[in-house]
Amino acid sequence: MAPALRPEGEILQGLGALAQPTRLAAFRLLVRVGPEGLPAGEAARQLNVPHNTMSGHLAELARAGLVRSRRDGRSVVYAADLDGLAGLVEFLVADCCGGRPEECGDSHPLLARIADLGRHGRTSVTEHRPYNVLILCTGNSARSIMAEAILNRLGEGKFRAYSAGSSPKGEINPEAKALLAERGYDVSWLRSKSWAEFARPGGPVMDFVFTVCDDAAGETCPVWPGQPMTAHWGIPDPAAVKGTPVEVRAAFADAYRYLHNRISVLVALPFDKLDRLALRGKLHEIGTLEGATRRAEAAAAVAG
């Protein structure tokens, strides 16, 4: 026997709650964060909404059965109620394919996935695609390029790394390209590009954005889709080193080592055991590892 659908009045309340842009953005944020949820103040900060306004929107989502709340010390933490979402979806697709959207076949794969959500609650939503990471530097020719290559190698299957610059040079630094090639990286696909590529609608939604040069950290970045977590991992610019070829190569080797160390720690983090606030702290701590610029150390101190 098919499960009973939610009353139409509840469905209308749920759809009405999601019809307001800020509430919709808040609900999507909470779905992305997962079952640990977020304090109302943190959700307000990430969506650039006044705290009192956000609390009102979250309370409305809770009344609609789309959000759950719990008290944690002085904060109220909100998490998406995926059972409530499943109820909305089940109502909307109840008449599709004779009430069995999972039998619609390959022509309706999305409906089959929605039906799976209704049957299995949190499981299918919290299975995470690879985390998208954008690594920024002003010129996108050396440090950010190396970090992109390193993360795609060390984090294969768990992370998908991209790099960009606010004022891209349009070509990769020859020393950076040579160093990566010597270490067995495929450099044929690497390119210097503008961060505007990733701020446009339709681009990959970023989970994390890291700056690896102090100039980029001080610039006003675009508003990234998805409200990613950010951290500053500033290290010295090897391209700024003036000296003998041996000294220049040593500077690039140092930069590579600093980045490799940071990314190794990132890849090893137990994401399934860290709530959002703890993860943010870990990301800023990574920025203080060997080779950190003073700005990176200061950024971590402020974040802590």
Active site residues: 137, 213, 221
Pairing of strands 159-164, 131-136: parallel
Joined tokens for residue 237: 């610019």
Give me the helices (H) in 200-268, please: 214-217, 245-268
Return d(Cα 277, Cα 249) in angstroms, integer: 38
Q: Which of 147, 186, 176 is nearest to 248 (CA)?
A: 176
Joined tokens for residue 127: 């299975």
Q: Are 18 and 57 in contact (CB under 8 A)?
A: no
Return d(Cα 286, Cα 297) in angstroms, integer: 10
At residue 82's C-alpha, the angle toward residues 78 and 87, to 5°, is 130
Residue 25 backbone dihedrals phi, psi, to 5 degrees: -65, -40
Joined tokens for residue 66: 């789309």
Strand ranges, E, within the chain: 38-39, 67-72, 75-80, 131-136, 159-164, 208-211, 229-232
Write the burial class of residue 106 (CB in 10 Å: 0-12 exposed, 13-18 middle, 19+ buried).
exposed
- The answer for residues whose C-beta is within 8 angstroms of residue 103's C-beta and 6 or more apart is 97
Q: Are 93 and 5 in contact (CB under 8 A)?
A: no
